[in-house]
Amino acid sequence: MFKHLKQLTSLFAMIAVLFAFTTEAMAKKSKTLKNTQKKGFVRCGVSQGLPGFSNADASGNWTGIDVDVCRAVAAAVLGDANKVKFTPLSAKERFTALTSGEIDVLARNTTWTLSRDADIGLTFVGVNFYDGQGFMVRKSSGITSVDQFKNGISACTNIGTTTELNMRDFFNSRGISYEPVAFEKADEVVAAYDAGRCDTYTTDKSGLAAQRTKMKNPDEHIVLPETISKEPLGPVVRQGDAVWEDIVRWSLNTMIEAEEYGITSANADSMKTSDNPQIKRLVGAEGEMGAAFGLDNEWNLRIIKQVGNYGESYKRNIADTGILPDRGPNQLWTKGGILYVPPAR
């Protein structure tokens, strides 16, 4: 009889543990901020290495404009832009990692589309890079335009991306038969193309420019001029936590608007005494801009001081690294680009 008793107790113990888990699932919403502050770091999903967007150096320091979004959030909610835990994710893993709660912000050059926004429990909070899909070929092939593509061309790309779908639309609409070779990791795609497995490599143009720097001989490859799709890339959060969604959205917006008003990491403190009320709002010297998020009033000042404005981030990560020196559409609306964010007031 004792033997059974022992079995019984262990059984009940297991059941009790299981029910303990359920309480977490049933707790009320909008707790991401609370959890983040309790943990002391922002859990951020990034790419497995895309120069300019999210890339780790030899000592494990992450840099890139996607990384800066996470750093901005950390500066806002924790007061320190370095308190971020980065999780490198493949294109295939990224959404599951976010919906399952493994990460709280996904800043991984992710294209905003209707089905992603509406279907899979995600919310896109904005656009931090306007991109479009292009093709890379070997210079020696003599191809200078997608019009020269012929039947039988093989194209390397990533699985689980909008790229895969755009590629099909493109080749189909032109009536070209092609061989899609789709890998899970970006490095595998680049290696396959570099070895000659594919005639062309297709992904977002910024990605092409960035990956080109990783190839054996970057000069042997060119990115064709045509752009075959719209790819607005932006940070994503889980659906169901409206406050957290707002924090991430306005962290990004703050960086862009700071550039618009000429506030930089260097002059942010001195801007507190500016005559322009909008500038004062952006550095926490006027209004109660943080209260609605449950943050103090200098959350935006910290973003600008620790991470910099959007222009600084772009210059540091994308222009100075030689990936895309020309800002193109990613210029402020006041300077001929399409970066336009709602006013922070």
Partner 1 sequence: MNNKIKRILPQLLTILFVVLVFGFFTINAQVNMDNRGIDFGFGFLSQEASFDMQFTLLDYDGQDSYLWAYVVALLNTLLVSVLGIIFCTILGVIIGIARLSQNFLIKNSAAWYVEFFRNIPLLLQIFFWYYAALRALPLPENAQPWFGVTYMTIKGYYIPSMIWENLNVFMSCLIAAIVTIIFIRIYAKKIQEKEGKQLPVLYISLALITILPLLSFLIGGVTLDFEMPVLKQLAQTSFIFEGGIALPPELIALVLALSLYTSTFVAECVRAGIQGISKGQKEAAASVGLTPNQILKLVIMPQALRIIIPPTTNQYLNLTKNSSLAAAIAYPDLVLVFAGTALMQTGKAIEIVGITMLTYLSISLAIAALMNWYNKRIEIKEK
Longest alpha-carbon distance in the chain: 84
Calpha distance 344→282 (Å, rounded): 7
Give the interface segment with partner 1, choosing from 5-13, 54-62, 224-232, 319-327 (CB under 8 A): 5-13
Which 240-259 residues touch partner 1, going by CB under 8 A?
A: 240
Give the interface segment with partner 1, choosing from 91-99, 208-216, 225-233, 275-283 (CB under 8 A): 91-99
Calpha distance 334→27 (Å, rounded): 45
Q: How far is the CB of 129 from partner 1 (least distance, A)?
A: 20
Which residues, in sequence order, are bridge partners of residue 135?
202
Q: How far is the CB of 121 from partner 1 (least distance, A)?
A: 3
What angle in degrees, to the nearest 10, is found between the helix axes of 299-306 and 242-260? 60
Residue 95, interface with partner 1 (CB under 8 A)? Answer: yes
CB of 185 closer than 8 Å to CB of 214: no
Give the interface segment with partner 1, choosing from 58-66, 179-187, 317-325, 334-342 (CB under 8 A): 179-187
Nearer to partner 1, 37 or 239 (CB): 239
Q: How far is the CB of 201 from partner 1 (least distance, A)?
A: 13
> Hey, what are 169's tokens?
């639309």
Q: How far is the CB of 143 from partner 1 (least distance, A)?
A: 5
Among 6, 22, 57, 60, binds partner 1 (CB under 8 A): 22
Question: Which H or E run contains 129?
Answer: strand 129-131
The full 3-state SS of 245-264, as one line of letters, equals: HHHHHHHHHHHHHHHHCCCC
Give the interface segment with partner 1, choosing from 118-126, 254-262, 268-276, 322-330 (CB under 8 A): 118-126
Residue 15, interface with partner 1 (CB under 8 A)? Answer: yes
Q: How far is the CB of 95 from partner 1 (least distance, A)?
A: 6
Nearer to partner 1, 81 or 192 (CB): 192
Which 138-157 residues touch partner 1, going by CB under 8 A?
A: 138, 140-143, 148-150, 152-154
Among 60, 115, 173, 275, binds partner 1 (CB under 8 A): 115
> If you write DSSP's letter for every residue of 261-285 in order, what string do you get?
TT--TTTTGGGGG-S-HHHHHHTTS
Give the interface segment with partner 1, choosing from 9-17, 65-73, 104-112, 291-299 (CB under 8 A): 9-17
Calpha distance 345→343 (Å, rounded): 6
Distances (CA, A) of 7 to 15, 140, 172: 13, 72, 63
